Amino acid sequence: MSWAVVYSRALAGMAAPLVEVEAHLANGLPAFSIVGLPDTEVKESRDRVRAAIIQSGFDFPAKKITVNLAPADLPKESGRFDLPIAIGILAASGQIDGTNLHQYELVGELGLSGQIRPIRGAIAMAEAARQHQRSFILPSDNAFQTALLPDAHVYGADTLLAVAAHLNQNQPLSPVDVQHIQQPDETNYPDMADVRGQQTARLALEIAAAGGHSILMSGPPGTGKSMLAQRLPGILPPLTAKELVSVWSLQSLLPHGQQKYRLNRPFRSPHHSTSAVALVGGGSDPRPGEISLAHHGILFLDELPEFDRKVLEVLREPLESGEIHISRAARQATYPAEFQLIAAMNPCPCGYLGHPVKPCRCTPEAINRYRDKISGPLLDRIDLIIEVPSLPASDLLQQANGENSSSIRERVRTARSRQYQRQGKINAQLSNRELDDIARITLEAKQTLASVMEKLSLSARSFHRILRIARTLADMNDIHDVETSHILRAISFRRAL
């Protein structure tokens, strides 16, 4: 046989479109060409594939070799096509059995010795292969990432020779076992018991955790804003199996040295000098940014007004939709971004506006410029806006005796379980129609909110966000309907800056 087809996968954001690697051997002067819109990395695979085939003990055909990567209009990047190209050449030259190639999909970068090196996006590719009911062969270093996928037939291989032996049925590869998810060690989280005072902020953080709400904390330096934010992961419930696969899928898209596979929820805290591209993702080949890497976790933005305003404005769409669309001239990508925004800021540039002891040195114009860096539409998308005041010395001298994280976490789990039983999602993800149909808000409560809305000139978006917070307060107290008291309490957690 002088022609063979091997199935592989490309990457387009979180998607993994099918690529057919066609290898054809013809008589003529020896040549090796790759067509089908390959980029530089794919074109360089000719030298890697030739050396790997020879070093693995096979003969490299002295013929005119043409490799076509179909479909031709899909850009092909990275070295993941090395392995399917090599297998296609070996099958086309009759050196391995190619009768069962239609049952497999292969990815992997080849070293000159025939070793198979890890690639990006292994989880997305393995999931796509599972949906098409094909077995998936990938580098052994990537195999553990796919162990979370149920009903997936995945094989890890170290060398080209091992893959050839498996296809020839001489020495089958061992399938990757599906692993049961182990709960993370919750004792490693910072404990809420370390926080002295700040009862209002502690309650706001519990509300945010129970309903998945975003929160902005404003207060002088050293009042515990960052300390509170760092303790939020410890009161959140652990990732579900589906959420963990999604989080690991995003991690697998990063360069190999930057991938971090953990069982706990992501906590991303970018510096205020972060660019818009780093925050939302991008590049000529769009990669996920900080907001996507915080998917199903927390995005903590400390010193919020110090971020460039254009950078902050890119948060508006993902805060509403839970995903981010990145468009470039040649490629587009969509990444999930269901993150929980936790932000902290000072009340003014010097930080001491309203401080009981230290005077503020800022002029009114400086204070306005500082706060104007956060636009009204962005503030409107933040559910809870609270003040974290400075504590008197007497409170700081007392021994920390606040409630620990484990007790709060159990209440959060109970509140979230009520939400999942009622509507299948947390309250922060409820649409406006679902608030009317499912959230069980009494007419009196809605009328109270409408009256307050007129007095405070609240937007329609604020109206619905207050309803979601009120629904969370009712769930925390195990109350069937949202009452007027919940509405008034929810309004108190949306103070104006």
Q: What is the pLDDT of residues 96-144, one digit of tens each?
A: 998 999 999 999 999 999 999 999 999 999 999 999 999 999 999 998 8
Position 387 in a domain? yes
Residues 438, 418: one domain? no
* CATH, residue 493: 1.10.8
Position 382 in a domain? yes
* Residue 9 phi, psi (nearest 5): -135, 140
Residues 82, 128: one domain? yes
Residues 32, 75: one domain? yes
What's residue 186's pLDDT?
61
Residues 230, 120: one domain? no
What's residue 224's pLDDT?
86
What's residue 61's pLDDT?
95
Residues 259, 357: one domain? yes
DSSP output for 213-267: --EEEE--TTSSHHHHHHTSGGGSPPPPHHHHHHHHHHHTTS-GGG----SSPPE
Taking CA 34 as the corner, what is the angle to CA 32 and CA 40, rounded to the nearest 5 degrees?
115
Mean pLDDT of the chain: 90
- Any idea which of 16-25, 84-93, 270-279, 450-459 has the lowest mean pLDDT? 450-459
pLDDT exceeding 70 applies to what percent of the chain? 96
Residues 345, 448: one domain? no
Q: Calculate mean pLDDT across residues 227-240.
A: 92
* CATH, residue 124: 3.30.230.10
Residues 21, 137: one domain? yes
> How many structural domains compose the chain?
3
Q: Calculate mean pLDDT across residues 361-389.
A: 92
- 216 versus 223: the higher-pLDDT residue is 216
Amino acid letter, 229 = A
Position 273 in a domain? yes
Last residue of a domain, one of 140, 167, 194: 167
Amino acid letter, 119 = I
Q: Calculate mean pLDDT across residues 191-200.
A: 85
Residue 395 has pLDDT above 70, yes or no: no
C-alpha distances (whole Å) from 67 to each of 8, 12, 51 are: 13, 21, 17
Position 210 in a domain? yes
Last residue of a domain, one of 114, 132, 167: 167
Residues 270, 242: one domain? yes
What's residue 181's pLDDT?
60
What's residue 270's pLDDT?
95
Last residue of a domain, one of 427, 458, 477: 427
Taking CA 45 as the corner, what is the angle to CA 41 and CA 48, rounded to the nearest 5 degrees?
130
Residues 399, 454: one domain? no
For residues 378 and 212, give the distance between their C-alpha atoms in angstroms, rounded to a whole number.
17
What's residue 394's pLDDT?
67
Residues 348, 450: one domain? no
pTM score, whole prediction: 0.89
The distance of Cα 115 from the centroid of its chain, to the nearest Å, equals 31
What's residue 442's pLDDT?
87
Residue 243 has pLDDT above 70, yes or no: yes
Residue 463 has pLDDT above 70, yes or no: yes
pLDDT exceeding 90 applies to what percent of the chain? 66
- Label residue 259 by pLDDT band (50, 70, 90): confident
Query: Any bridge partners for residue 35, and if so which?
Result: 68
For residues 393 and 395, give the distance between their C-alpha atoms in angstroms, rounded to a whole number.
5
* pLDDT tens digits along 408-446: 999 999 999 999 999 999 999 999 889 888 888 888 988
Q: Calculate mean pLDDT across residues 20-27.
A: 96
Residues 375, 259: one domain? yes
For residues 413 and 165, give the distance between their C-alpha atoms in angstroms, rounded to a whole number.
50
Q: Coil, strand, or helix at residue 16? A: coil
What's residue 184's pLDDT?
66
Asked whether 299 and 342 are in contact (CB, 8 A), the reply is: yes
- 454 versus 138: the higher-pLDDT residue is 138
Q: Which contacts (CB < 8 Å, 24+ apart) does range 131-134 have?
A: 132/18, 132/105, 134/7, 134/103, 134/104, 134/105
For residues 333 and 395, give the distance between their C-alpha atoms in angstroms, rounded to a whole number.
50
Position 56 in a domain? yes
What's residue 312's pLDDT?
93
Token pair recorded at residue 271: 């510096």
Domain span including residue 450: 430-497
Amino acid letter, 367 = I
* CATH, residue 271: 3.40.50.300
Catalogue the E-assigned strands of 42-139. Answer: 64-70, 104-106, 109-110, 116-117, 135-139
Residues 134, 272: one domain? no
* pLDDT tens digits along 479-495: 999 999 999 999 999 87
Residue 400 has pLDDT above 70, yes or no: no
Residue 2 has pLDDT above 80, yes or no: yes
Number of residues that make up the chain: 497
What's residue 188's pLDDT?
77
For residues 76 and 79, give the distance between their C-alpha atoms in angstroms, rounded to a whole number.
9
For residues 154 and 162, give the distance between their C-alpha atoms in angstroms, rounded to a whole number.
14
Asked whether 178 and 168 are in contact (CB, 8 A), the reply is: no
Residue 301 has pLDDT above 90, yes or no: yes
- Label residue 255 by pLDDT band (50, 70, 90): confident
Position 143 in a domain? yes
Position 181 in a domain? no
Position 175 in a domain? no
- Any idea which of 107-116, 379-388, 442-451 has the lowest mean pLDDT? 442-451
